[in-house]
C-alpha cells in the first residue's frame, strides 16, 4: 500500500481526533491553545463586545492536541465580563467558517471564575444536577493565548438546539427560550407595553395575550414559539391543576428542588427569575434545563427584588432558607403551582430528600470537593490572572472568603451545606416517614406488542400508589392509580400488593412507582422520572442491536466504519424480509426498503449498514443514524411497525443491544456484531437500579467509580469484564472507590456478594 505525505497527515489527524481526551471529562483538565494573528487581540475582542453585534475574531485553536483553523472567538458573560479584566469569559465557535467540531461540539463556552473563590460552584453544581436531570456537562480548561497561559476556566457545555436534540430528542425547530431577562434583576420595567402586565424576570408569569408582553423577559432561540410560551404561562396562572398538559412537570420539580437545596438564588427561585432554558419537546410539553450556576451555594444574595439595595444576608439566611419559598408568591407561578398541589409538593420533597441522602448524607460531597481541589490546585496556583489568591481558593471550601470581585462574602461550601442539610432534616416534611416500596414486578416481563401487562408492587405505609409509564423517551409519563382490591392483578384485596394493567405497544414501556401517605412520598427508583424501570416488547423479527457511533468497532466491505443495525429472527421459522422497511422517521416509515430475496433464517442475525450510501454492495440504507439520538423503526410491508427503538446520545463504539438477546430491554453494551448479545449483557439475578440501597456513580465513568451499599455488614465487590474476567475485587462496609483509569472503554459489571449486579459504562 502506497501512503503519500497527504495521506499520512490525514491518518495522524484522524487518530488524534479518535483518541483525543473527552472535551468534558470531569476528572481531567481540557487544554486549549488559541493563536491570534493580531497582538492586540484583547482590545479587538473588547471592541467587538462593546459593539454588541456578535462579531468574532478569527484564530487557530488546538484542543487537547487536535488543531482547528478559522475559529471564531468573542467575549461573553454579563456581570463577569469587564474591559479591565485580563481574563474574560470566552465563546469559541469552531464552525464559524468551516464545518468542524470536537466530538460533535462546535460551540464552547468558557467562564473566567469570577464570583467564586472556591472555583467549585459551577462545575460541582452541574455534576450534582446531572444525576437527576438533563444539565450541561462541565469541567475545567487551561487556556493559552499566543503561547502564554491566560488562566484556568470553567468549560461548560452550551445549551442550544443540539443540546435539546441530544437530551430531550426534541426537534430543532421546536419552541426554545433562554430565560434570562434583558434587563438587570433590580431594574424591572414598570411600564410594560400597552395591555401587558409587569413581569418579574423570566418567572413564567402570564403577562397578557400579546406576545410582545414577553419580549423583554425571554430570548427566543427558535424560529417560532412566543404563542407556546404564552399558553404555558396562562395555564400556570389560571389553571394550575392542568400544568402537566403544558409542562413536563417532574423535570421542573427536579430543577426547583436543586435550586432550593443548593441555595441557588441566581435562578428561577430568586430575584428576577433567570438562568435557565426551556424548550418544547415533541410531546408538546415544555422541558427545563438549569444554566449559569457560578453563584450557587449562597453566592447570590437576594430572594426578591426589593432587597436588592439591602445588605447581604448572613450565612444562617442560606442554611435556613425555606425549601418551599414561593409557595404563596404570585410572581413565582411555577413554585406556587407545585406547592399548591399536595401530591406535587410531596414529590418535590421526595426528590429533595433523595439528593440530600445521595450527594450529602453519603459523604460524596466532601470527597468530591477535595478531589476537584486536588485536580485544579496547580492550575489555580499558576493562574496570575485569577481574581483570588491560591490561599483563598483553598480556604473557601471550609471558610468564608471576601469576594474581591464584588466585595461580598463567599461562604464556605462545607459549613454552608452542613448547616443546610441539618436544617432541612429537622423540618416536619423531612422527618415524616414515607411509604416503603418493594417487590416491583411486571408480568409478562417480555411481552409481545399489544399485550396487556400487569404491574405490581408491595407498598406499606402508603395510601395512594401511582404507576408512571410511557412508551419511549419522547413521550411524557402518564400517571395511573394502582389498586389493592384484588381486581387489578394484585392478588388478594388489602394484602399490601398494588396492581395496575396497561396494554404495551411496540417498543415496550418505561415505568416507575410512586407511593405517598398524608405526610410523605417515595419514588422507585428514587431518581424517577429521570431514571426508570423498563421492559421491552418483541415480535417475530426485531431490531436486536444498533450502533450509531461506529468509530473503530467493525468496518463494511469497503473498509468504512458506518452505522449499523442488526435484525434478529426470534422464531423457529424463516422470515422473508422482502419488501420490509427500515426508517428513522415516524412520518415516513417506508424510507428504505429491503430488496427482494432477503431471508432471515430461524434464530439468525442480519446486519444492515445504516450509512446513507445505497451505491455500495450489500444492504446499505438511504439514511444514517444520528449519534445524538433518534428513533429506528422496523416496518412490515403492510406499513405496520414491527419494532422500534428510541435512543439518546450514543458513546463511540458502544452499541445499544437487547438484553436478554432478542427479547429484552435496550441497554448500552459491548458490541456483538452479527451475534448473540449475551456476552455484553448482565446475567445476574438482581440489578443495582432495582435496589435503592445500592448505588454506583458516576455512570458512565472514566477515572474512578464509587459504590454505596446501605446494607448491614461487610460486602464483597467485584468488577467484571463482559467475558466474565474479574478485574477488581474488594471488601467494604458502606463505600468503595475504584480507580478505573487504566481500563478500556466499554461495558463492565459490578457484582456485590456474587448476586447483586449492576452495569458500568466506562468512557474515554
pLDDT per residue over 70-83, tens digit each?
Answer: 999 999 988 899 99
Does 482 share its domain with 415? no
Instruction: Please identify, among 623, 646, 680, the residue that sits at the C-terminal boundary of a domain.
Output: 680
pLDDT of residue 650: 83
**Dihedral of alpha carbons 213, 217, 218, 219, sign:** positive
**Residue 155 within a domain:** no
CATH of the domain at 736: 2.60.40.10
Residues 271, 237, 278, CA angle at the centre, nearest 5°? 60
Considering the domain architecture, whether residues 277 and 333 belong to the same structural domain is answered as yes
- pLDDT tens-digit profile of 690-727? 445 677 777 777 778 888 776 667 778 888 765 556 77
Contacts of 516 (CB under 8 A, 6+ apart): 343, 346, 434, 435, 462, 463, 464, 522
pLDDT exceeds 90 at position 9: no
Looking at per-residue confidence, does 56 or 407 come out higher?
Answer: 56
What distance in Å separates the CA atoms of residue 98 and residue 104, rounded to the nearest whole number? 14
* Residue 607: φ, ψ to 5°: -100, 130
pLDDT at 184 over 90: no
Q: How far is residue 116's CA from residue 373's CA, in Å, rounded to a whole number?
A: 13
| Cα 668 from Cα 659, distance rounded (Å) | 9
HEC sequence for 517-529: CCCCEEEECCCCC
pLDDT tens profile 364-415: 999 999 999 999 999 999 999 999 999 999 999 999 999 877 788 999 999 9
pLDDT at 144: 98
Q: Per-residue pLDDT for 157 more than 70?
A: yes
What mean pLDDT, rounded, does the chain reach?
89
Read off the C-alpha cell for 642: 414491527
Tell me, yes or no, whether 746 and 626 share the same domain: no
Q: Are residues 698 and 628 in the same domain?
A: no
- Please give the backbone phi and psi of residue 61, each rounded to the nearest 5 degrees, phi first: -130, 135
d(CA 140, CA 382): 14
Mean pLDDT of 44-67: 96
Query: Is residue 452 in a domain?
Result: yes
pLDDT band at 309 (very low <50, low <70, confident <90, very high): low
**pLDDT per position as a tens digit, 435-494:** 999 999 999 988 988 999 999 999 999 899 999 999 988 899 999 999 999 999 999 999
Give the burial string for 530-549 (b: 16+ CB within 10 Å, else e). Answer: bebbbbbbbbebbbbbbbbb
Pairs from 38-42 (Cβ < 8 Å, separation ≥ 24)? 39/146, 41/145, 41/146, 42/86
Cell, residue 115: 464570583
pLDDT tens column, 101-148: 998 899 999 999 999 999 999 999 999 999 999 999 999 999 999 999
Residues 517, 556: one domain?
Answer: no
Shared domain for 359 and 473, answered yes or no, is no
**What pLDDT score was predicted for residue 470?**
95
426, 449: one domain = no
CA–CA dist 548, 316 (Å, integer):
50
Same domain, 624 and 722: no
Lowest mean pLDDT among 6-15, 323-332, 346-355: 6-15
Does the structure show a pLDDT above 90 at 62?
Answer: yes
For residue 686, what pLDDT is reported? 38
Claim to verify: residue 285 and residue 350 sit in the same structural domain: yes
Residue 69 falls within a domain, yes or no? no
Please work out, in degrees rounded to the nearest 5, the angle formed at the alpha carbon of residue 418 by the alpha carbons of 514 and 290: 55
Residue 601 falls inside a structural domain? yes
Any idea what the CATH number is for the domain that residue 550 is in?
A: 2.60.40.1260
CB 32 within 8 A of CB 63: yes
Percent of the chain exceeding pLDDT 90 equals: 70
Q: Identify the residue with better confidence: 429 or 183.
A: 429
Whether the full predicted model's pTM is greater than 0.75, yes or no, is yes
**How many Å apart are CA 396 and CA 471, to the nearest integer?**
47
pLDDT tens profile 609-651: 999 999 999 999 999 998 878 899 999 998 889 999 988 878 8
pLDDT digits (tens, 9 = 90+) for 504-544: 989 889 999 999 999 999 999 999 999 998 888 888 999 99
Of 654, 680, 706, the residue that ends a domain is 680
553-578 residue pLDDT tens = 899 999 999 999 999 999 999 999 99
Same domain, 473 and 556: no
Range of the domain at 272: 166-363+404-430
pLDDT of 654 reads 86
For residues 257 and 309, state if they share a domain: yes
Q: Which residues contact 69 (CB under 8 A, 6 or more apart)?
A: 60, 98
**Mean pLDDT in residue range 291-314:** 81
Residue 100 maps to a domain: no
Q: Which of 580, 586, 497, 516 is nearest to 543 (CA)?
A: 580
Is residue 133 one of the residues assigned to a domain? no
| Lowest mean pLDDT segment, chosen from 18-32, 50-64, 301-315, 408-422 | 301-315
Q: What's the pLDDT score for residue 698?
A: 77
Torsion of CA 543, 547, 548, 554, to 10 degrees: -140
Q: How many domains does the chain have?
A: 4
Q: Of 491, 526, 561, at which residue does a domain stop? A: 526
Residue 458 forms part of a structural domain: yes
What's the gap between Cα 517 and its chain centre?
A: 30
Domain assignment of residue 557, yes or no: yes
* Residue 213 per-residue DSSP state: G
pLDDT for residue 14 is more than 50: no
What does the radius of gyration of the chain's CA atoms come to, in whole angstroms? 27
Q: Domain check: are 509 and 552 in the same one?
A: no
Amino acid at each position: 500500500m502506497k501512503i503519500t505525505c497527504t495521506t499520512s497527515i490525514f491518518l495522524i489527524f484522524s487518530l488524534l481526533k479518535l483518541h483525543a481526551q473527552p472535551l468534558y471529562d470531569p476528572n481531567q483538565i481540557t487544554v486549549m491553545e488559541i493563536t491570534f494573528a493580531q497582538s492586540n487581540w484583547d482590545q479587538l475582542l473588547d471592541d467587538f463586545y462593546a459593539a454588541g453585534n456578535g462579531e468574532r475574531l478569527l484564530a487557530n485553536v488546538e484542543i487537547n492536541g487536535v488543531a482547528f483553523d478559522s475559529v471564531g472567538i468573542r467575549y461573553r458573560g454579563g456581570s463577569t465580563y469587564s474591559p479591565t479584566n485580563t481574563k474574560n469569559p470566552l465563546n469559541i465557535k469552531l464552525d464559524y467558517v468551516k464545518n468542524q467540531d470536537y466530538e460533535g461540539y462546535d460551540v464552547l463556552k468558557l467562564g473566567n471564575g469570577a464570583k467564586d473563590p472556591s472555583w467549585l460552584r459551577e462545575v460541582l453544581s452541574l455534576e450534582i444536577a446531572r444525576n437527576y436531570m438533563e444539565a450541561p456537562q462541565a469541567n475545567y480548561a487551561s487556556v493559552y493565548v499566543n503561547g502564554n497561559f491566560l488562566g484556568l476556566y470553567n468549560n461548560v457545555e452550551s445549551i442550544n438546539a443540539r443540546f435539546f436534540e441530544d437530551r430531550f430528542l426534541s426537534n430543532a425547530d421546536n419552541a426554545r427560550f433562554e430565560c434570562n431577562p434583558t434587563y438587570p434583576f433590580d431594574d424591572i420595567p414598570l411600564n410594560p407595553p400597552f395591555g401587558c402586565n409587569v413581569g418579574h424576570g423570566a418567572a413564567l408569569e402570564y403577562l397578557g395575550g400579546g406576545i410582545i408582553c414577553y419580549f423583554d423577559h425571554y430570548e427566543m432561540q427558535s424560529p417560532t414559539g412566543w404563542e407556546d410560551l404564552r399558553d404555558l404561562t396562562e395555564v400556570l396562572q389560571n389553571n394550575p391543576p392542568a400544568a402537566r398538559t403544558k409542562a413536563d412537570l417532574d423535570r421542573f420539580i427536579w430543577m426547583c428542588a436543586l435550586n432550593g437545596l443548593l441555595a441557588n438564588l441566581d435562578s428561577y427561585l430568586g430575584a428576577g427569575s433567570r438562568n435557565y432554558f426551556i424548550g418544547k419537546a415533541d410531546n408538546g410539553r415544555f422541558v427545563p434545563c438549569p444554566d449559569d450556576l457560578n453563584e450557587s451555594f449562597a453566592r447570590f444574595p437576594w430572594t426578591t427584588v426589593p432587597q436588592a439595595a439591602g445588605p447581604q444576608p448572613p450565612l444562617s439566611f442560606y442554611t435556613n432558607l425555606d425549601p418551599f419559598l414561593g409557595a404563596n408568591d404570585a410572581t413565582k407561578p411555577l413554585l406556587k403551582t407545585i406547592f399548591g398541589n399536595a401530591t406535587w409538593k410531596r414529590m418535590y420533597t421526595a426528590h429533595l430528600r433523595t439528593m440530600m441522602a445521595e450527594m450529602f448524607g453519603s459523604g460524596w460531597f466532601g470527597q468530591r470537593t477535595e478531589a476537584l481541589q486536588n485536580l485544579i490546585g496547580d492550575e489555580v496556583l499558576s493562574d496570575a490572572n485569577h481574581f483570588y489568591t491560591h490561599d483563598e481558593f483553598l480556604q473557601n471550601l471550609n471558610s468564608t472568603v471576601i469576594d474581591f470581585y464584588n466585595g461580598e462574602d463567599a461562604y464556605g461550601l462545607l459549613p454552608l451545606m452542613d448547616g443546610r442539610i441539618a436544617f432541612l432534616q429537622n423540618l416536619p416534611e423531612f422527618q415524616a416517614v414515607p411509604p416503603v416500596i418493594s417487590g416491583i414486578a411486571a408480568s409478562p416481563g417480555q411481552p409481545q406488542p399489544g399485550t396487556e401487562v400487569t404491574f405490581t408492587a408491595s407498598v406499606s405505609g402508603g395510601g395512594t400508589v401511582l404507576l408512571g409509564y410511557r412508551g419511549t423517551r419522547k413521550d411524557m409519563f402518564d400517571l395511573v392509580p394502582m389498586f389493592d382490591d384484588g381486581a387489578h392483578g394484585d392478588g388478594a384485596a388489602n394484602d399490601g400488593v398494588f396492581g395496575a394493567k396497561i396494554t404495551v405497544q411496540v417498543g415496550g414501556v418505561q415505568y416507575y412507582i410512586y407511593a405517598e401517605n398524608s405526610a410523605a412520598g417515595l419514588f422507585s427508583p428514587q431518581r424517577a422520572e429521570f431514571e426508570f424501570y423498563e421492559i421491552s416488547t418483541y415480535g417475530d423479527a426485531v431490531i436486536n442491536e444498533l450502533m450509531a457511533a461506529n468509530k473503530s468497532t467493525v468496518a463494511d466491505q469497503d473498509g468504512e466504519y458506518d452505522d449499523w443495525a442488526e435484525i434478529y429472527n426470534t422464531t423457529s421459522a424463516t422470515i422473508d424480509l422482502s419488501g420490509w422497511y427500515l426508517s428513522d422517521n415516524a412520518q415516513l416509515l417506508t424510507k428504505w426498503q429491503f430488496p427482494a430475496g432477503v431471508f432471515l433464517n430461524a434464530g439468525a442475525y442480519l446486519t444492515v449498514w445504516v450509512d446513507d450510501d445505497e451505491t455500495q454492495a450489500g444492504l446499505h440504507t438511504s439514511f444514517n443514524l444520528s449519534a445524538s439520538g433518534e428513533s429506528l423503526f422496523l416496518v412490515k410491508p403492510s406499513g405496520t411497525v414491527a419494532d422500534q427503538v428510541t435512543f439518546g446520545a450514543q458513546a463511540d463504539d458502544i452499541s445499544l443491544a437487547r438484553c436478554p438477546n432478542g427479547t429484552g430491554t435496550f441497554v448500552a453494551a459491548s458490541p456483538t456484531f452479527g451475534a448473540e448479545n449475551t456476552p455484553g449483557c448482565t446475567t445476574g439475578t438482581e440489578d443495582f437500579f432495582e435496589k435503592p440501597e445500592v448505588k454506583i456513580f458516576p455512570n458512565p465513568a472514566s477515572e474512578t467509580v464509587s459504590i454505596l451499599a446501605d446494607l448491614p455488614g461487610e460486602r464483597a465487590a467485584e468488577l467484571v469484564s463482559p467475558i466474565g474476567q474479574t478485574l477488581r475485587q474488594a471488601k467494604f462496609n458502606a463505600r468503595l472507590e475504584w480507580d478505573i483509569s487504566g481500563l478500556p472503554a466499554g461495558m463492565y459489571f459490578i457484582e456485590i456478594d456474587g448476586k447483586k449486579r449492576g452495569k458500568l459504562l466506562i468512557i474515554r
